[in-house]
Amino acid sequence: MCGFPPAILPPVLPASPGTYVLVLRLAETIHIQPGRLGGFTLETGLIVYVGSAHGPGGVRARVRRHLRAEKALHWHIDYLSTVAPVTEVWWTASEQRLECAWAQHFAVLPGVTQPISGFGASDCSCSTHLFALPEDTLRVAWETLGHPTRNGAICL
């Protein structure tokens, strides 16, 4: 089930730069070792990753890469997206770098935890870009992220 109303789903991801959120649902406890961060266990539930795409192909290319089952393990999220299904993608098409602001937004939501320190945040001062949250917080996260900074979402 999506955390937002289906009526606001646009048909395609933009090929322009932007910021995105991957929503992953863990049906079982998993163990991952994301690069040099070490080994971690993630419990069953909802996981959210905040990323940015300012290279060639923009948000569309980056998200499509994350959705591929087979890929070189380059970013921390690659270690997770190969073993856990992405069920939703939220994005904005903007030259403005909003990744850290969005991560800070998730960090202060009720019931949210930060399961892996440093995950996805090796190029900034954020504590992490990976969050575990209660199911009922997903809708709150979508609604409070704010219309000026988000453009769309899609359920997979």
Tens digit of each residue's pLDDT (9 = 90 or more) over 65-116: 888 888 899 899 999 999 998 998 999 889 999 999 999 999 999 999 999 9
Instruction: For residue 50, tell me if it sits in a domain.
Output: yes
Q: How far from 33 is each of 54, 78, 83, CA to CA, in Å? A: 26, 10, 11
4 belongs to a structural domain: no
For tokens 């904005």, name the residue: 92
Whether 6 maps to a domain, the answer reads no
Does a structural domain hold residue 2? no
For residue 148, pLDDT over 70 is answered with: no
Write out pLDDT tens, residues 13-62: 888 999 999 999 999 999 999 988 989 999 999 999 999 999 999 998 89
Whether 83 maps to a domain, the answer reads yes
Q: Check: pTM over 0.85? Answer yes or no.
A: yes
Segments forming the whole domain that contains residue 107: 12-155
pLDDT at 68: 85
Please list the alpha-helical segments (H only) found in 41-92. 58-67, 76-81
Which helix (H) or strand (E) element contains residue 75? none
Q: Enumerate residues 6+ apart whose C-beta is below 8 A from 5.
A: none
Q: How many domains does the chain have?
A: 1
Percentage of the chain modeled with pLDDT above 90: 54
